[in-house]
Amino acid sequence: MIGEWNALAIAAVAVVGYLIGNMQTALIISRLRFRDDVRLYGSGNAGTTNMIRVYGKNYGLLTFLGDAGKCVAGFFIGRLLGGWIGINATDPAVSVLLGGYIASACVVLGHCYPVLFQFRGGKGAASAYAMTWCLCWQAALVSTIIAIVIFLIWKRVSLVSILTAISYLIGTYIVWATGNADRYLLFFVAPVVLLLLIRHKDNIKRLLRGEEKAISSGDKH
């Protein structure tokens, strides 16, 4: 035990979330449907954007739904397991909440760096997007509107992911600062946003150089 928190339970929730994140939708689709590995093409990432570029919009959409869905699943499984986190806590609801926070954050981490797939996963945008709705829907709604506007104007998915992540962090801070969010929220949102920016570092460089390409749909199948 660490104070009121059960360290073993926290570790268990984190591992469960991480392993759920290891389920790479892009790799599952590319291997089962095409007997191929999407990481061999395009950007080399196992994510929505690369699936669109390599196999087309329909498979990109399936990838997005799968990667977003696993984060939602991780969030609710984390909440179910969260009751074990704070055995001596005065407010059991806090333990449940932390379970969801920890698991969903670890789903994103597992998606980006999956041990089952040589640590070569996607960039985490779809899973992180689902996490935003689970953790703070008010900020998620605003960032979604911003994302739509950005995409309609510039057609750069990477720019959408980057600016949406930043706007979500700002929105979450505002919700938190006004007392409408749990005190632990920013401790989980900020690292995930930082991870997303790190995973998009090459995209940021290309955007600054004006070399980032607009999204295009491939047709390898």
pTM: 0.93
Contacts 24+ apart (CB under 8 A), 86-95: 86/4, 86/5, 86/6, 87/1, 87/4, 87/6, 87/9, 88/1, 88/4, 89/4, 89/5, 90/4, 94/182, 94/184
pLDDT score at 41:
95
Residues 6+ apart with CB under 8 A from 61: 48
* Whole-number Å distance between alpha carbons of 47 and 196: 13
pLDDT score at 1:
39
pLDDT score at 50:
95
pLDDT score at 93:
81
pLDDT score at 2:
45
| Exposed/middle/buried for residue 170 (C-beta within 10 Å: 0-12, 13-18, 19+) | middle
5 backbone dihedrals φ, ψ, rounded to 5°: -100, 140
Residues 6+ apart with CB under 8 A from 183: 176
Residues 6+ apart with CB under 8 A from 2: none
* Whole-number Å distance between alpha carbons of 155 and 133: 23
2 backbone dihedrals φ, ψ, rounded to 5°: -120, 100
* Integer CA distances (angstroms), 189 to 58, 108, 149, 151, 167, in order: 30, 11, 23, 23, 12
* Whole-number Å distance between alpha carbons of 103 and 123: 18
| Chain-centroid distance, C-alpha 17 | 12
pLDDT tens across the length of the chain (221 residues): 344 678 888 999 999 999 999 999 999 999 999 999 999 999 899 999 999 999 999 999 999 999 999 999 999 999 999 888 876 555 778 889 999 999 999 999 999 999 999 999 999 999 999 999 999 999 999 999 999 999 999 989 999 999 999 999 999 999 999 988 888 999 999 999 999 999 999 999 999 999 998 887 766 65
In 3D, which of 90, 71, 44 has the Cα closest to residue 134?
A: 71
